[in-house]
Structure 1
Amino acid sequence: MWGVIHVKAILFVGHGSRDEEGNEQVRQFVQTILPQIDATFYVHTCFLEFGVPSVIDGIVHCVERGATEVIVIPIILLPAGHSKLHIPAAIDEAKERYPYVSFTYGRPLGIHDATFTILQDRLEEAEIVLDEHTAVILLGRGGSDPDANSDLYKIARLFWERNKQVIVEPAFMGVTNPSLDEAVVKCVKLGAKKIVVLPYFLFTGVLIKRLEKRVFEFQSIYPHISFVLTHYFGFHPSLQTIVLDRLHEALSDSVQMNCDTCQYRLHVAEHHHHHHHHHDH
């Protein structure tokens, strides 16, 4: 008697960008980790927005390839509305459509020891000397979820714990405060002679290109201070470590974030039924 073949699929979820270069970076990154994933898994990549396929289309694709188990891994920096609401909503839809398929949902990249290896390397690549005259602004996207915003503060604090001789300030590109401009003013008041902007962004896009222009403007406003924009956090080799750790957690059922009981998700789900937003990426 023939046995039933159970296909397991891993579906990586990128945020997605209006800038196709950013979407291609996600696809290329997934290609780099394929050799470290058991060849029996079917691996596919999808996007929350702007890129194709969408999350639900990505799940459909995996099921059409014969998957009876789909492990969904978000390649998203911090836990916020996307990972708490929009991906679980797509999984819920898929569960109704495919009751015979089991789903496992991993957690976002979050705070990991390798995070600080990447930040340190970005500074070294820019030949930054970390001393008492240097300020590092860790610049996040910014959002409406307090968890994600506070995680950036935690990363900034833990980074300072490893580099106590330097000023480290968190800031956000939009939605919430402190803004980049406010962080620059604070660093100037604290006596910084060099201000380094380190973008905590996973991929290039509209905001990174806007940021390049803004840092150039800062140099004109504060001619007595040196400004440096490092490479964004990005798809550094150590990011493979973080993503593979999140995958292994999901495969071993040790994921430490339960979105089904998350109070933020339950509250927002009552008030938001669709994913409509107008920010740039």
Structure 2
Amino acid sequence: MNAVLFIGHGSKKNEGNSEIAQFVESMKPELDVPIVETCYLEFAQPSIATGIERCIERGATKVALIPMMFFAAGHSKIHIPDAIDHAKEKYPAVEFSYGRPIDVHDKLFDILESRLSDCGFSSESSNEEVSILLVGRGSSDADANSQLYKISRLLSERLQMTNVELSFIGVTTPTVEEGVQRCLKLGAKTIYIVPYFFFTGILMDRMEDKLANFTSEYDDVVFKMTDYLGFHPALKTIFIDRAVEALGGSAKLNCDMCEYRLHALAHMDVHHHHHDHDHDHHHVLK
């Protein structure tokens, strides 16, 4: 019996944790899996070990663990695999598989565009006086930080090459303040700040403070802050993709944003094509 265990980061603010739990609840009808549970890395219960235990108590023989994180960094590369290793020792008869974080996925850009347009941004009217500033959490993992740079480039191309700058709220640079300076040096008169966070929490409180400071410091510049990315309905598609992928045991190459793959999915009956190919091959063999 299959189970999917979603792993949220966990927040010191309960509001953030309940957002995660509610979001997983909302995915259940679309996820054709008998057992779906939620757990947290830190600051909230149940822990990963307890989450695994709950799945097995409910009769799971295969558990797919899905990190509800944007990028692969310390948590998803070290902490979660360590918890899976312990679970494998404790439950040798159960099969465990591990899904990917979001990383880069086409639906992510739909979410970013909708957050920006809710805030009044339009790529039609964008010019060199408009900048977008993405604000990441920041990591000590260079690979994770570099993913945000990839996203900023893809977002810029999608928005008719609007200038997209990068910043991080902690751990690494450029800081949010340095990000604003970069936008201003490039002639921005309007700056759209996009908090690249999942849920409301301490970081959003800090962003509100920063926004107030920028608004009073630069009275000739318009600052607009979008809602945090949050658990937007389009994220369901991404997490369901990741769960199905993990249960199927298929780790994909870096193809989620490949224009050829997206074109093929939109314009070709890919599965039908393979089926026909096999069918023809079968006749040749005969």
TM-score range for the pair, normalised by the shorter chain length: 0.7 to 0.9
Which of 37, 61, 72 matches 2:54?
A: 61
Residue 282 (structure 2) aligns with: none
Is 1:27 aligned to residue 21 of structure 2?
A: yes
The alignment partner of 2:61 has SS state of strand
Residue 3 (structure 2) aligns with: 9
The 2-side partners of 1:12 and 1:194 are apart by: 38
Which of 101, 111, 120 matches 1:127?
A: 120
Is 1:196 aligned to residue 203 of structure 2?
A: no
Superposed displacement of residue 93, structure 1: 0.5
Which of 111, 116, 132 matches 2:109?
A: 116
Bigger Rg, which one: 2
The alignment partner of 1:171 has SS state of strand
Once the two structures are superposed, the pairs formed by residues 47-126 of structure 1 within 5 Å of their partners are 47-126=40-119
Which of 150, 154, 158 matches 2:154?
A: 158
Structure 1 gaps, min length 5: 1-6, 258-281
- What is the alpha-carbon root mean square deviation over aligned residues? 1.1
Once the two structures are superposed, the pairs formed by residues 35-50 of structure 1 within 5 Å of their partners are 35-39=29-33, 41-50=34-43
Q: TM-score, normalised by structure 2?
A: 0.85
Quick check: 1:140–1:172 contact (8 Å CA) kept in 2? yes
Q: Percent identical across equivalent pairs?
A: 50
Is 1:221 aligned to residue 217 of structure 2?
A: yes
Letter in 1 for 2:101: P
Superposed displacement of residue 165, structure 1: 4.3
Superposed displacement of residue 215, structure 1: 0.6
Superposed displacement of residue 28, structure 1: 0.6
Q: Which one has a larger percent helix, Structure 1 or Structure 2?
A: 2
Quick check: 1:107–1:256 contact (8 Å CA) kept in 2? no
Structure 2 gaps, min length 5: 254-286
Letter in 2 for 1:179: T
Letter in 2 for 1:25: E
Superposed displacement of residue 129, structure 1: 3.3
The 1-side partners of 2:172 and 2:198 are apart by: 19
The alignment partner of 1:255 has SS state of coil
Q: TM-score, normalised by structure 1?
A: 0.87
Q: 1:129 to 1:38 in 2, by over 3 A?
A: closer
The 2-side partners of 1:158 and 1:8 are apart by: 35
Residue 180 (structure 1) aligns with: 176
